[in-house]
């Protein structure tokens, strides 16, 4: 970031804040969220430049943009102190209504949704909603009143077009999701964003709801709604229909005039915004429980604003039920719902520090994290179209009020306003969990060089404290895997190659593919008490400092890379080797079968191989080996599964046919090899490894270094500057 955003949140009492910068040019921008921001960009930054500040920061919780997509069909809010809900305009917030204490208020987009079921059977309706959720859908259960009495209408998802909604609805019907329930249609009906204006105006929501129910009883689809025009306060009205095409809307208008002689439906005013109100039983625990109010927000134009005075904040059910300080904005973006939390900046940093680093860690490490998090957020600018940052590690983890701890709040308060700068600019204070002993140079991760992001040693070993050791062993079935140390004991015997022979202590002991308990991953083997296994090596349980992934067959590895490379690997993988490395030892080029893998940046190697913890790794090609011959000559065995023979002491030649065999080198180290190509990744660190290492900060703080030293250690020649 090369300047400062000066922010006003729409006439809600925040003062303009302008920090002077030399040689600056000023531009005024109105962002899509109705947030006015004055950006001051320095064309010639100097060491004396003012420290950028934000009063509040906008955090994207759900968004649909080219940089970030996390979508939800609904957003469910509540607060112990109730919420004020209004329509947010560029200049002000127009009040709409006030929710009660702990009242559930739900929002969805007024878009296209397939109706997969209409039934008077509450239990049948709830079963379909649960079934949709189990299959990855998002069912919504709306209560209607018509000639049949109480009717429960189940819609699914949130779609920008009628075609997309229709295809989704047909899919749910076709796969039998709702088979056997009364009201099932052969083809899904659609709910759409087209409505007619009734012309009725009411003083309260209850009056509008009653009028809509009366029309519904006469066979006219009608809903209470809030109408907002210009800067005037919203009024309650009734809208007719929820159609997906103009023909259906026209037919509804004719039907309404015939049913109610005094009714003259007209098209909705394009200069006004309408928010429909429906009875939502999706979150009701039983038929006797009152429904929540569901507000359908237009895809464009409308921005609803929610705030509370309660210290407990606002709870958002769809985001793990977390509660947040500040306020929320609900709008449409990229044809989907956008939910943004606007929160006081320093309170945001307190929650980030608590989400990113355990509060039990040394205070100086927490302070370093606070400065890094504050600087990083300022560096991003308005990086996500209508938000500065998002709440995941794509920006930095943010868990709302639940992430705030006394120690993290103290760290933020102790460093309030402090940021890291280099050459007069706020720097990109990227950080990761563990550097694995050496941080990465930015060049070897992203292909871009920063003077302050260079490779340094990092004391990251504290993540291994108290963890079990694991033995990599050969089982009686000639299989190779890991057994935890407490499940083994020394038998006092040695193998023919001189390796320790261990005895299994418990019946049904699982031999795992990596040194970590993973109940969802198939085991390599199971051995019983008393069985003898040969120890190949002893390692620490996989953690942020050291880890193992694999072993993968050639076919499994090829499948992992599918869709992750700009140019797919041709044919089966026979060899996989690191051909170029950066300053920290991380690969900047990897070849498969002698051809360089096509990735956008070296950091993409992590996802290319199934989500490796870091790129600081070595590749164990189990089928490749070098054979020493007479006179010092060596032969490279091709990794193609070709036949191998050994010469016995009696001079007889014998082919190795087992899938696994074991080789002893000149120093007595045994290596597990395979006939067919297989691959293991043995690595260190967790994350991209650039900038501050969180475990490294913990290590330095434990050695007595303060937060400024820690920051300047990981960000070379940076200055810690305060307003």
Question: What confidence tens digit (pLDDT) does each residue in 69-89 have?
Answer: 999 999 999 999 999 999 998
- How far apart (Å, rounded) are the C-alpha atoms in residues 431 and 444? 15
No. of helices (H) and no. of strands (E), the chain: 12, 49
| In contact, 17 and 7? CB cutoff 8 Å | yes
Looking at the predicted structure, is the pLDDT value of residue 180 above 80? no
Among the residue ranges 374-383, 518-527, 607-616, 636-645, the one predicted with the least confidence is 636-645
For residue 2, the model assigns a pLDDT of: 34
Among the residue ranges 2-11, 209-218, 459-468, 493-502, the one predicted with the least confidence is 2-11
Per-residue pLDDT of 588-647, as tens digits, reads 999 999 999 999 999 999 999 999 999 999 999 988 876 666 666 556 666 665 676 666
Looking at the predicted structure, is the pLDDT value of residue 39 above 70? no
> Tokens in use for 603?
């950091």
Per-residue pLDDT of 257-299, as tens digits, reads 888 777 889 999 988 899 999 999 998 888 888 899 999 999 9
- How far apart (Å, rounded) are the C-alpha atoms in residues 508 and 527? 6
Q: What is the mean pLDDT of residues 246-255?
A: 92
**Three-state DSSP class for 111?**
coil
For residue 41, the model assigns a pLDDT of: 30
Query: What is the band of 664 on the pLDDT scale with cuts at 50, 70, 90?
Result: confident
Torsion angle (degrees, nearest 10) of CA 671, 675, 677, 678: -50
Query: What is the band of 301 on the pLDDT scale with cuts at 50, 70, 90?
Result: confident
CA atoms within 13 A on the CB side of 2: 10
- Read off φ and ψ for residue 7, nearest 5 degrees: -120, 135
Beta sheet of 488-494, edge-to-edge order? 480-484, 469-474, 532-540, 500-504, 488-494
> Tokens in use for 314?
């606002």
Give whole-number Cα distances, 20 to 3, 42, 382, 449, 721, in Å.
10, 10, 20, 30, 16
**Three-state DSSP class for 330?**
strand
CA atoms within 13 A on the CB side of 118: 16
Q: What is the 3-state secondary structure (H, E, C) of 235-249?
A: EEEEEEEEECCHHHH
- Read off φ and ψ for residue 197, nearest 5 degrees: -85, 130
Looking at the predicted structure, is the pLDDT value of residue 9 above 70? no
Q: In 10 A of CB 632, how many CB atoms?
A: 6
């Amino acid at each position: 970031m090369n300047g400062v955003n000066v922010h006003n949140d729409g006439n809600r009492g925040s003062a303009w804040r302008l920090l002077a910068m030399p040689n600056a040019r000023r531009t005024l921008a109105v962002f899509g969220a109705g947030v006015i921001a004055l950006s001051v960009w320095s064309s010639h930054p100097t060491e004396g430049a003012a420290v950028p500040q934000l009063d509040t920061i906008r955090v994207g919780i759900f968004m649909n943009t080219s940089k970030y997509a996390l979508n939800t069909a609904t957003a469910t809010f509540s607060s112990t102190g109730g919420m004020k809900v209004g329509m947010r305009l560029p200049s002000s917030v127009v009040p709409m209504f006030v929710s009660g204490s702990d009242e559930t208020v739900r929002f969805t987009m007024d878009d296209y949704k397939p109706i997969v079921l209409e039934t008077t059977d509450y239990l049948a309706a709830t079963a379909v909603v649960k079934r949709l959720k189990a299959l990855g859908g998002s069912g919504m259960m709306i209560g209607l009143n018509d000639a049949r009495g109480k009717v429960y209408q189940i819609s699914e998802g949130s779609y920008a077009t009628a075609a997309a909604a229709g295809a989704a609805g047909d899919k749910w019907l076709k796969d039998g999701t709702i088979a056997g329930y009364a009201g099932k249609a052969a083809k899904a009906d659609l709910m759409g964003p087209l409505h007619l204006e009734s012309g009725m105006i009411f003083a309260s929501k209850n009056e509008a709801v009653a009028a809509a129910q009366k029309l519904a009883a006469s066979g006219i689809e009608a809903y209470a709604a809030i109408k907002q025009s210009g800067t005037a306060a919203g009024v309650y009205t009734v809208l007719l229909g929820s159609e997906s095409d103009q023909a259906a809307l026209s037919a509804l208008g004719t039907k309404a005039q015939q049913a109610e002689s005094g009714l003259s439906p007209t098209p909705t005013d394009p200069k006004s915004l309408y928010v429909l109100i429906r009875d939502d039983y999706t979150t009701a625990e039983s038929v006797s429980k009152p429904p929540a109010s569901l507000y359908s927000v237009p895809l464009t134009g409308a921005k609803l604003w929610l705030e509370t005075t309660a210290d407990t904040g606002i709870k958002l059910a769809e985001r793990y039920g977390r509660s947040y300080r500040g306020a929320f904005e609900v709008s449409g973006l990229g044809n989907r719902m956008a939910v943004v939390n606007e929160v006081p900046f320093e309170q945001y940093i307190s929650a980030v520090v608590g989400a990113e680093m355990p509060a039990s860690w040394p205070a100086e490490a927490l302070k370093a994290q606070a400065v890094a998090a504050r600087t990083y957020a300022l560096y991003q600018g308005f990086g996500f179209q209508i938000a500065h940052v998002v709440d995941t590690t794509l920006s930095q983890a943010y868990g709302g009020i639940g992430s705030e701890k006394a120690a993290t709040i103290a760290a933020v308060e102790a460093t309030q306003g402090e940021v890291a700068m280099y050459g007069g600019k706020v720097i990109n204070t990227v950080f990761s969990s563990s550097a694995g002993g050496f941080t990465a140079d930015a060049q070897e991760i992203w292909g871009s060089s920063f003077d302050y992001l260079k490779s340094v040693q990092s004391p990251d070993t504290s993540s291994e404290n108290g963890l079990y050791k694991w033995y990599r062993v050969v089982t009686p079935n000639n299989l190779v895997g890991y057994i935890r140390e407490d499940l083994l004991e020394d038998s006092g015997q040695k193998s023919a190659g001189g390796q320790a022979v261990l005895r299994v202590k418990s019946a049904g002991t699982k031999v795992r593919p990596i040194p970590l308990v993973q109940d969802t991953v198939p085991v390599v083997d199971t051995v019983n008490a008393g069985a003898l296994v040969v120890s190949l090596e002893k390692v620490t349980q996989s953690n942020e400092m050291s880890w193992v992934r694999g072993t993968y067959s050639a076919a499994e590895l090829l499948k992992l890379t599918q869709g992750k490379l700009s140019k797919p690997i041709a044919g089966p993988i026979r060899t996989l080797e690191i051909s170029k490395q950066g300053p920290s030892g991380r690969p900047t080029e990897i070849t498969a079968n002698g051809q360089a893998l096509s990735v956008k940046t070296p950091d993409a190697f992590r996802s290319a191989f199934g989500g490796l913890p870091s790129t600081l790794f070595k590749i164990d090609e189990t089928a490749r080996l070098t054979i020493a011959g007479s006179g010092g000559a060596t032969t490279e065995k091709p990794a193609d599964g070709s036949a191998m023979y050994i010469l016995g002491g009696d001079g007889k030649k014998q082919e190795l046919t087992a899938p696994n065999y074991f080789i002893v080198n000149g120093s007595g180290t045994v290596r597990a090899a395979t006939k067919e190509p297989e691959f293991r990744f043995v690595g260190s660190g967790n994350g991209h490894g650039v900038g501050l290492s969180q475990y490294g900060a913990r290590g330095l703080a434990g050695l007595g270094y303060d937060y400024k030293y820690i920051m300047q250690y990981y960000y070379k020649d940076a200055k810690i500057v305060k307003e």
